[in-house]
Structure 1
Amino acid sequence: MDWLPSWCREHLGAAPAHVLFERRSLSAVVGVRLNDGREVVVKARQDEGRAAACVAAQARLAQRGFPCARPRTPVAGVGALAVHAEESRPGGGVLRGDTPEIAVRYAAVFARLMTELTGVSVPPPLPNPRWARWDHAGPGLRPSIRFLDEQDQSAVPAHVVETATRVRKRLLAANLPCVLGHADFEAQNLRWHDGGIQAVHDWDSLAWQPEAALVGAASGAFANASPPTLAPIGSSAAFLAAYQQFRGRRFTEEEREVAWAAGLWPALHNARWEALHGDRPVCGAAVRAQAAERLRRAGARPADLYGSCTSPG
């Protein structure tokens, strides 16, 4: 990141004096102390055209008092990267566990998050994040991810492929409006203090999908740290029930089925990743154990027809 010093001087008015931390995965995240004493976090990721909407939504939530970092700059291009800076929100701890009681605590935060986002108007942050992109327009089962697609796909277990096929068919058959929501609602992206939520991170992962799909994905992934897995069925059920209670409305039968289908999709993405990289099949084992019951609750029959998301209104 040799562009970082000049970027900070141009967009923040000060140069980095010290690097506090650095993390790299699908994006690069660097915490820096500037030479004027301010501490900020700079985020850089491949520019897919969605970053500006994500940062704008994050800024609106921060203005409303939602516990998230306040952006300090808009998104700016650096070559093929989309870059912005936000305030540093250190401290807090990860709430670990996947029991129904823990699930209800996470559901309360997710319900608050989704309620706040209903009042935020930004262009849809499309395309959706790759691990949530069951609604892609490509020809294959999964969205194109070059570094995964180039590997030997025969390593992926047949039950993972079959389950993903049924899940995607069920999700595409839904006729539900899309809304703005967080598509990476995992324990590793939240921080808690004294029993309450201190910060929700990773706003680059906003998505434009049916509410039930976003809630369902969160119900399966809320306990994820490293390595990720799939929450127990009883805990996902507790999450979904609590979310509806906190939001003050009951899902329709279609929404309930879509939620159960969407709860499998991130775990299927991770199970494929494990298989292609020769990792221990943590998600793969959870999918194998839970798929039949989750597919039943999703109404995900092999003969489901394809459909698509519709726009609100």
Structure 2
Amino acid sequence: MAELDRRLVAWCERQLGATPVERLMGVSQMAEVVGVRLDDGRSVVIKSRSDPTARAKTCVAVQHHAADAGFPCARPLTDVTDLDGLAVHAEEWRPGGELLRGDSPEIAERSAQLYAQLAVIVEDLRLSPPLPNPEWVNWDHDGPGLWPPNELHDIRPLATQLPPPLVAIATRARARLMKSGHLPRVLGHADWEAQNLRWNADGPHAVHDWDSIAWLPEAALVGAASGAFASAEIPTLMPLHSSEAFIAAYENARGRTFAVEERELAWAASLWPALHNARAEFLWHTQPVALTEVLTQGEERLRRAGA
């Protein structure tokens, strides 16, 4: 970590023309995220991550376009550059705001309306597709099995012993999702969860996790968000009526109703992030929160998906 810090200091001096003098925060998940105060008084966030398929440039370009359009998110301050094999960029420090907790239809509608605002902003962007899509929406992967390859999950002792009802639901959901692969694809935020959104009393304050941009049919992006919008510390699957409210509020905000095929696609996609989380719960022996909801709601969501 000391070596990484030295490299990041030198990177800041080259890219931002200032030296970090204080560490404000640090998070390590899919990326290393470090907030620092610079010697010129600015506070910035530096993100570095492995990027073997060069997704990061498109993700940061989407974020920059959204910020320029007035969408509530941190504005990137640099392009993505290579730092000893890591993709690195800096963005504004945008602390504050609160999680909007709860999975009621009313909260679903607020979340969906914000999602629709972003969809309008990015719908005409023409950028290199950020493929592969994030794992929790990567049902169209080109691997040999049902699930996208995951070197940590695939070696678990129980990887071939998943509960048969979970496998059956995932198989039907993926088959329905693959049937709509001909629909036009758009860019969209694929990790639309409460943990990545911050709100003030007067509205949205910041949307985070722009590394999770995906290239999917619009209805699939909306469906995935409708199933996950309230997930915070422990991801799960939303109540059916709240997913329904999310999809309807999105359609209303966009001024168009999904066609039958799109509506079915949305319901199939609503299951996939929860299926991804349910599998992880089983493999890593954690509380079966998503798994319970998938097994409870799966049949009805598949019925609505025409699966």
1:45, distance to aligned residue in structure 2 (A): 1.4
User: Where do residues 226-245 of structure 1 align in structure 2 (5 Å cutoff)?
Assistant: 226-245=233-252
The counterpart of 1:66, out of the listed 71, 78, 81, is 71
1:116 matched residue in structure 2: 121
Corresponding position: 1:7 with 2:14: no
1:77, distance to aligned residue in structure 2 (A): 1.1
The counterpart of 1:287, out of the listed 265, 276, 294, is 294
In structure 1, what residue type is equivalent to 2:132?
P
1:34, distance to aligned residue in structure 2 (A): 1.1
Distance 2:139 2:160 in 1: 21
2:166 matched residue in structure 1: 160
The counterpart of 1:172, out of the listed 175, 178, 185, is 178
Determine if contact 1:216/1:260 at 8 Å carries over to the other structure: yes
The counterpart of 1:258, out of the listed 262, 265, 277, is 265
**1:105-159 alpha-carbon deviations (Å, 9 max, x no partner):** 0010001111111132221111111111111112111111111111121453222
Question: Which ranges of structure 1 fall in alignment gaps of 5 or more residues?
Answer: 301-313
Determine if contact 1:114/1:181 at 8 Å carries over to the other structure: yes
1:195, distance to aligned residue in structure 2 (A): 3.8
In structure 2, what residue type is equivalent to 1:178?
R
CA-atom RMSD in angstroms: 1.0
1:100 matched residue in structure 2: 105
Normalised TM-score (structure 1): 0.94
Tell me how many residue pairs correspond in the alignment.
300
Determine if contact 1:217/1:264 at 8 Å carries over to the other structure: yes
2:153 matched residue in structure 1: 148
Please list every run of at least 4 consecutive aligned residues from structure 1 whose deviation after the TM superposition is greater than 3 angstroms. Answer: none
Distance 1:7 1:112 in 2: 34
Determine if contact 1:220/1:230 at 8 Å carries over to the other structure: yes
Distance 1:7 1:150 in 2: 37
Corresponding position: 1:19 with 2:23: yes
Distance 1:255 1:68 in 2: 28
Percent of aligned pairs sharing the same letter: 57
Distance 1:257 1:287 in 2: 17
Distance 1:19 1:26 in 2: 20
**1:71-90 alpha-carbon deviations (Å, 9 max, x no partner):** 00100112332111100111
1:43, distance to aligned residue in structure 2 (A): 0.9
2:37 matched residue in structure 1: 33
Determine if contact 1:155/1:276 at 8 Å carries over to the other structure: no
Pick closer, same or farther for the CA change 1:17–1:264 going to 2, 3 Å: same
SS in 2 for 1:208: strand
1:303 matched residue in structure 2: none
1:61, distance to aligned residue in structure 2 (A): 1.2
1:41, distance to aligned residue in structure 2 (A): 0.6
Distance 1:136 1:228 in 2: 22
In structure 2, what residue type is equivalent to 1:72?
L
